[in-house]
A and B are shown apart, each in its own frame.
Chain A
Amino acid sequence: MSTELILSLTSLLAIGLGYAIPLIFASMGELVVEKSGVLNLGVEGMMIVGAVTAFSVTVDTGSVWLGLLAGGIAGTLISVIFAVLAIHLLTRQVPTGLALTIFGLGLSGYLGKDLVGKTVPDSIVYPVPILKEIPILGDSLFTQTLPGYLAIIIGLVVVYVLAKTRIGLIVRAVGESPEVAHSIGFSVRKTRYAATLFGGLMAGLGGGYIALIQQKFWVENMTAGIGWIALILVVFSSWKPFRLILGAIFFGIISGLSFYMQAKNYPINPNLLNSMPFIASMVVLCITSANSKRSSANAPASLGQSYHS
């Protein structure tokens, strides 16, 4: 390969990965939520509240870590509202989640009024020795900020926990058949609470990452639909956590590819290029759902259904 091509691929990967990290946080959280049988459409709302809280705390303290932590806590607290309504009071999950998003957008706008125009310190990039020397991949994958690595590590931990541990098994059992899980002595309600709160934590961290590391400023509605893409990603990856990580990076690259090809002056209509993420999603969804037995088998059987014990 020519040096120029290698450089190009490296920058494309870097652009894609920058976009993918908040997606990994938020969609990994939502995956666990959905694995327990709960469909929380409030991801965007939890993310934006996480973003405004993280930003505000970092502006006050100067610490990105404290901000990120606060963002995670704020996301968790917001998800408690959903958990109480949908799991405890058995409201319908879809409208409850939508309401949570609207609530989050409004609340964050209110809380963030005084934050417009403020900035936070730059986060330091830590290249991983040796690994960063890998051609093409090294410079983009292994040259992240610490919270960036955190996203990937948490993602891998979730892959492991869901597949290999007792906790993961309980979560999956509750999502597949709450009646059976209940009958053998697991608490459906507690499991779903825990999963929902974890989803809130991760969405809050994702929002915090956007405000503190990706953009480093606050403007209203700044997540601009990332939460919805996180929701799509879960379906897109057929509820498989490892595929989800790859899917997030794929989405980031596809989204960046349009701008990248425009910047390289490929003679393709920009409108067509900008619709590539949608075209690519359709293609992948067609492929993954071609075998209907396999793809529907992956969706947790009780997804979106309230359970009254």
Chain B
Amino acid sequence: MIEVDESTLIRCAICGAVNMDKGKKNICRRCHSSIKDKHFSTQKSWAYLITGMIAYIPANMYPILISTQFGQTEGSTILGGVIFLWEHGSYPIAMVIFFASIIIPVLKFLILIYLLISVKYPLGKDKKVTKHKLYYMTEVIGPWSMIDVFVVAVLSALIHLSMVSIVAGTAVTAFAISVFFTLLSAHAFDARLIKENC
């Protein structure tokens, strides 16, 4: 018989097995993958998040779509595209693009910043369940910001005529990098820290 303290039990992120916390290096007893170190994970999460936020700036400055119509070249940024769609009456699509490329990334930055600060400093101590929900939400809705990148990819593959053509702009790369790094940041964040700091 062994005595186990319930609060020291940890979950393997890969296979979901319950493990005992044995100090610095934890190896899952079922799938033998290493369980991430909770103190190192915050730093990694910050690093990825800051990279994502920096990449988000050029993603909004440079044109994401460059359309050529009868010799006239015109570039449109993410926000410019949304405004164009809104003015032309495509409200649902304008809303989808607005949500996927502006609301979701910004919301993700804010939620991750809030979570990362709150595990270090006493902030919203009594809102444990809300924080877990927030974290889970960022993981679920996060990938949906890729919509804009895919839309650009589809449009540029589809509109390839002699008179009219659409080419992807610089912002696509920046935006894809931004989304990729925020996803990494959310994965690197350890939800265990929410529990411990409440």
Do A and B pair up? The answer is no
> Contact residues of A with B, CB < 8 Å?
none
